[in-house]
Structure 1
Amino acid sequence: MNATTRLQGFGQRLKTYLLSADDGMLMRHFFHGLVVTSLVFIVIDWNELNTANQAHPGFDPMQPQAAPVLPPALTEGEPQNAPSDITADPSTLKQAIRFELKPGGILSAEGSIEPGAAARFAGEIEARGEYVKTVLLNSPGGAVGDALAMSKLIREKKLGTRVAAGALCASSCPIVMAGGVSREAEKGAVIGVHQIFNGSKEKLSPEQAMSDAQRTTADVSRHLEEMGIKSGLWLHAMETPPDRLYYLTPEEMTAFALVTDAATPVAKAKTK
C-alpha cells in the first residue's frame, strides 16, 4: 500500500469518526490536540535555543540583551553617536581584556578592563617584555585601579601606546593610554571620557561612595599630571555623567597632550 492510499484511508476514517462523534467528545479531542501541538512547538523552540547556545557560547536566551558598549555623547541637545565608526565587534569589547603579541613589537590589548586585568597585563609584560614596544588599545574601559596600574607599568617600561582607526578607547582606557612615552590616535580612532563610578556589586553608604570617588579622582588627577596630560582632559571627564561620554576631537587630544608628536616623545616626563 503506497503513501497516497494510506492517506486516503486515514481521511475516510477521520470523516466517519467526526460524523458519528458527539460534541463533547469532539471538544475533548480538540483540546488534547492543542496540548500535543503546543508541546511539539515547545520542543522545536527549545532545540533552536540549544542550537543558538552551542553556536554562541555564553549566550543565554533567557537573559535580556546587554547594554550597548558605547553610551551616547554628552551634548546640549539630543545624545549623538561616536564621531567615527567603530569597527571592533561589540561582543569582543565586552569580554575581559585579552593580550596578543603581534609583529613589530605590538601588544594588542582588546576588551574590558576587569578587576585583575593589571595583574594579567604585568604577567604578559614579564613574559614578553623584551619584544613589546607599543601597546595597541581597543577597550571601553573598566576598573579604574587596574587601568592606573597598567598605565604606570607602561611608563615604567617606557612603552608607547596607540589607538588605531576604528578602535575605541573610552572611560578608564585613556588612563592606560596616558602611560605611553609616545601616544598616538590614528585618524578615526574614538576616544571618550566620563566620571568614575563604583561598578562593583558591593553596596556602599553614600558617605563611603563619595570618599572612594574623591580618593580615586585625586589618584587619577595626580597620575595624569605626572604623565604630562593637561588638566582639561580630566575636567571634561568629571563634568560628564557616567552614562554619557565626552568624545575628544583630534584638536583636543593634541591640546590636552593625550597624543604626542612622534618626534618628541614624553620619556623625560615624571615616571614615579
Structure 2
Amino acid sequence: MTTSAQKAIRWILGLQVGLALLLFAGDLGARIPQLLSPSVAPTLERLVSPGDQTRRYAPRRMTTGPDTGPMPRRLTFQPFGDVLTMEGGIAAGDAARFEDFLDREGPFTRIRLNSPGGSVGDALDIGRRIRDAGIITEMQPDTFCLSACPYILAGGTERRVHITASVGVHQHYFGENIVLPAFTAVEDIQRGQGEVMTYLNDMGIDPLLMRHALVTPPDEIYVLLPEELETYRLATEIGAS
C-alpha cells in the first residue's frame, strides 16, 4: 500500500471519528439540561384540566394498577373469551409476537390497553393489524395509554375510552444514529414523523393530534382531555361506566 493511500485511509478514519465525536457532543449537550433540570411537571396521579395537561413521564415507575407491581417491560397478552388485554411496554419485536399470538389464539372482538408506550414502529404495525382484523380497542377505568400506545388505540374500528383513563402523547425517538452525519439523523426523525401522520390519516384520526406530541419533550406527556380525544377522533366513545 502506498504512502498516499495510507494517508487517505487515516484521513477518512479521522473524519469518521470526528463526526462521531461531534454527534456525541451534540447529543450530550441536548441531554445535559434534562439531567440537570428534569421535568418538574406533576405526576400522572394529579387530574388534568384545560391548560394543565402536561405530566411527568416516568414509565419505569408506572404500575399496572393500584397496589400492583410494575408494568411489564414488554407487552403481555391475556385472553378472556373474545377479549384480549394487552399490558406493558411496547418493545422491539412485539408486533411480530402479537401477530403470532393473534393467529394462534384469535379471533378477538375487543382489545383492552394498558401501556406506557415504547417502540413506535411496533405500535404502528400492531395498530394496522388490529384494523385489518376489525377489532375494537378499549381503555378501562384508571388505565394508561401513553407515548406510542395511542397508535395502537387508533387501530380499533371503534375506540372506547373510559373517562378516568389517561391517553397521552409526546416527542418520540425514531432511533439514534452515531455513525452518519447529523442531517441524516434529522431525516430519519422527519421520515418517522411523516409515517406516523400518514398512519393516523389512514386510521381516520386527525393528524393535528401530532401538534401536541411535537411540543412535549420525551420526559413529559401531554394528557388529552375527553373533548380532545373526540375532536381528533382518537376516541369514538367516552364512557363513565
TM-score by length of 2: 0.70
Residue 138 of structure 2: which of 141, 147, 162 is its match?
162
Amino acid at match of 1:79: A
Q: Deviations over 1:46-89 (max 9, x none)?
A: xxxxxxxxxxxxxxxxxxxxxxxxx96xxxxx512225598725
Question: Are the counterparts in 1 of residues 63 and 69 from structure 2 also a CA contact under 8 Å?
Answer: no
Going from structure 1 to structure 2, the CA distance change for 1:87 and 1:144 (only over 3 Å counts) comes to closer
| Residues 137-193 of structure 1 deviation map (CA, whole Å, 9 limit, x = unaligned) | 100000111001000000000101011111110000000100000001112101110
Deviation at 1:94, TM superposition (A): 4.4
One-letter amino acid of the counterpart of residue 219, structure 1: E
Give the aligned residue type for 1:80: P
**Over alpha carbons, which structure has the higher Rg?**
1
| Bigger relative contact order, structure 1 or 2 (CA pairs below 8 A, ≥6 apart) | 2
1:126 counterpart letter in structure 2: D
Q: Which runs of 4 or more aligned residues in structure 1 lie more than 6 Å from their structure 2 counterparts after TM superposition?
A: none
Whole-Å separation in 2 of the counterparts to 1:138 and 1:248:
16
- Structure 2 residue 176 is matched with structure 1 residue 214: no
The whole-number CA distance in structure 2 between the counterparts of 1:199 and 1:191 is 23
Which consecutive unaligned segments of at least 5 residues does structure 2 have? 1-37, 49-61
Cα distance in 2 for partners of 1:197, 1:238 equals: 11
The one-letter amino acid paired with 2:93 is: G
**Partner Cα separation in structure 1 for residue 195 and residue 63 of structure 2:** 32
| Residue in 2 that maps onto 1:108 | 85
State the Cα distance separating 1:92 from its structure 2 match.
3.6
Identity across matched positions, percent: 35
Determine the C-alpha separation between the residues in 1 that align with 2:71 and 2:189: 25
2:225 equivalent in structure 1? 249
For the Cα contact (< 8 Å) 1:107–1:134, is it kept in 2?
yes
Whole-Å separation in 1 of the counterparts to 2:194 and 2:69: 32
Matches within 5 A, 1:161-180: 161-180=137-156
Give the equivalent residue in structure 1 for 2:210: 234
1:84 and 1:190 in contact (8 A); partners too? no
Query: C-alpha distance in 2, partners of 1:80/1:232?
Result: 25
Contact 1:110 1:139 in 2 (8 A): yes
Q: Specify the SS of the correspondent of 1:257.
A: coil
Task: Please give the residue correspondences for 1:189-208 in structure 2 after superposition, counting only pairs within 5 Å.
Answer: 189-198=165-174, 203-204=178-179, 205-208=181-184
Q: Which runs of 5+ in 1 are unaligned?
A: 1-70, 73-77, 263-272
Going by fraction, where is strand more abundant, 1 or 2? 2
CA contact (8 A) 1:92 1:110 kept: no
Q: Assess, with a 3 A threshold, how the Cα gap between structure 1 residues 138 and 199 changes in structure 2: closer, same or farther.
A: farther
Distance 2:120 2:69 in 1: 21
Q: Aligned partner of 2:80: which letter?
A: K
Cα offsets for 1:71-115 (capped at 9, x unmatched): 96xxxxx51222559872585424211011013x11111000000
